[in-house]
Chains A and B, each alone.
Chain A
């Protein structure tokens, strides 16, 4: 493993921490949910209306209760994931309402897209879990979308997946379904199986839906990502450090709430902070400033001793082109080398979170593979030093016929899945660009994918639950 790269000095991290504490103490935050206000009141904090004024002792004390790492359990234990420490978890994009097609057109996403993306993530060697809301199924009524999505995540892959964050009730449904799959709520309370995305309402607010979901998951011992998306320049200041301090205040308050409800609740420090473009107002996620937010967030989370979430294959491009590629690599690499643990939006995102593309998904999957290889770093054992091979070949000569080469290249070199390394003439026969190759590839992967069998009895119970809740 490569050592993690820091972008702030220890002193700078402390400055950000202290600024956040000042924000929480002096300005406070609004919580638009009575049960959450009650928790804070019971903890002895000053609450006026929806405004909660925190204290340094409270925040620092509660954040200490959060575990440094935790295991997220999968239907197939081989896919259990440790979130935290040196580990990195890649997964698909989240929440996009559109599918961008290879021919440049865009359409609404559907349940079929959701299922396809779960399958592509299930098949991937580089994506560790299948994520959540991988496409917004606009053909399913809102009230039952979450049920259908969870079912599809369970049925089409045996990797870890995410629960619904759309309010207490839908969180509860997610928990019920997970309990049916894993053998009861007591079982999952001991072994978390769900992780969900709880967003603050920047600046300095949390709404009822997100708080309801956060409380339901914390009570059930399930993991939550508490994330803040500050749009610097519009929902936050046009200053990088100020934005980090604001984001940090919100995330700390959310983590403190989870720890007040259930000490030891697995939480992840989340950031999706980015820029507002000062000409169009558009969110800009493929920017160097976003890469700085990602990198700093990894380090700030390390300072608190909690796992981090940020980054992904983020970009502002409309299609799968060079901009999509270079911006995504910058943000995915920033997340990977600075030690982000949970990388939502690794694969598929285009158009500042508005669209998912299958072709982009395959391209990002390749990038994830490249980065996983990069992160492994160097091998310093005898094979890695390769002195014997060097001695055998001596001056002049070549290594292509060495046993060491034949054996070791498989260990140390990565074979690309999508990138083209052919000679020019060979490539010229079909002249396929990345978008076109990826288009062929995802269809092949889907056609060949066989979802891991799901116990018939459990399947039946899940379907019954959905029928009863619909």
Chain B
């Protein structure tokens, strides 16, 4: 059985979603403990990738493919865990991530999502051109810790503020931490609109979340 977990771990490291899918299905078919498969297989694998990334030994496509493979594995095993009434164990935090309304730039957001996944967070990527309300609804639905909003245009930065305004308006501001990012944004702008966090790069965003959620 340990053999299967180490194969899962390796498939995550290799970023091979086909093999992850196959092995996860095997876990289900053979009634192996899915929580162990997640903890000993998937998460162990993504931890290795995170370390390799920090050490500068792998490139973006490596991390992003591992994050994708992770998603595939979780997509199969999580429903199984729920079905069995088991608990998955704590993730470091949940983050709802999207690009704001009027903006379709998504590369930076995708990278940020992958880095959060590689760091052990659960990421809910809701896509591009997303209304303030939809960020918040998704965050409520999944019980997110962080709402992450990306904006690449000076004309769409105001939509990041709209998310915060929406939260204030609905008395939800203290339920979520709002992180903003994207080329034209800055710490000064984050302060101005009352965002909880800003980061210039995906790595820094993860480090910031680690600090903030540890409190």
Residues of chain A touching chain B, judged by Cβ–Cβ distance below 8 Å, are 97-98, 108, 136, 138, 142, 201, 207, 231, 233-235, 238, 276, 278-281, 354
Known contacts A97-B154, A136-B154, A138-B154; is-contact A281 B107 (Cβ 8 Å): yes
Residues of B within 8 A of A233 (CB): 60-61
| A281 B202 Cβ-Cβ under 8 A | yes
| B201 A97 Cβ-Cβ under 8 A | no
Known contacts A97-B184, A98-B184, A280-B201; is-contact A207 B60 (Cβ 8 Å): no
User: Mostly helix, strand, loop or mixed at chain B's interface?
Assistant: loop
| B60 A278 Cβ-Cβ under 8 A | yes
| Chain B residue with Cβ nearest A231 | B107
Q: Give the contacting residue for A235; candidates B59, B107, B183; CB below 8 A.
A: B107
11 cross-chain CB contacts under 8 A: A97-B184, A201-B104, A231-B107, A233-B60, A234-B107, A235-B107, A238-B61, A276-B107, A278-B60, A279-B59, A354-B184
| B104 A281 Cβ-Cβ under 8 A | no
Q: With both chains docked as a complex, state the minimum distance between the C-beta of A101 and any C-beta of chain B, in angstroms.
A: 15
How many contacting A-B pairs (Cβ < 8 A)? 33
Tally of B interface residues using CB under 8 Å: 14
Within 8 A of A (CB), among B174-195: 183-184
Residues of B within 8 A of A281 (CB): 60, 107-108, 111, 202
Residues of B within 8 A of A108 (CB): 154
For the complex with contacts A234-B107, A278-B59, 10 further pairs of A-B residues with Cβ separation under 8 Å are A98-B184, A136-B154, A142-B155, A231-B107, A233-B60, A238-B61, A279-B56, A279-B59, A280-B201, A354-B183
| Chain A residue with Cβ nearest B153 | A97
Q: With both chains docked as a complex, state the minimum distance between the C-beta of B48 and any C-beta of chain A, in angstroms.
A: 18
Residues of A within 8 A of B56 (CB): 279
**Lowest 3 CB-CB distances: which A-B pairs, in order?**
A278-B59, A281-B111, A97-B184
Within 8 A of A (CB), among B54-73: 56, 59-61
| Chain A residue with Cβ nearest B154 | A97
Residues of B within 8 A of A234 (CB): 107
| C-alpha spacing A201/B184, complex, angstroms | 20
Within 8 A of A (CB), among B91-110: 104, 107-108
Residues of B within 8 A of A97 (CB): 154, 183-184
Residues of A within 8 A of B201 (CB): 280
| B154 A278 Cβ-Cβ under 8 A | no
| C-alpha spacing A138/B107, complex, angstroms | 24
Q: With both chains docked as a complex, state the minimum distance between the C-beta of B90 and any C-beta of chain A, in angstroms.
A: 29
| Chain B residue with Cβ nearest A141 | B155
Q: With both chains docked as a complex, state the minimum distance between the C-beta of B119 and any C-beta of chain A, in angstroms.
A: 16
| Chain A residue with Cβ nearest B111 | A281
| Chain B residue with Cβ nearest A353 | B183
Residues of B within 8 A of A142 (CB): 155
Q: Give the contacting residue for A278; candidates B61, B107, B108, B155; CB below 8 A.
A: B61
| Chain B residue with Cβ nearest A166 | B155
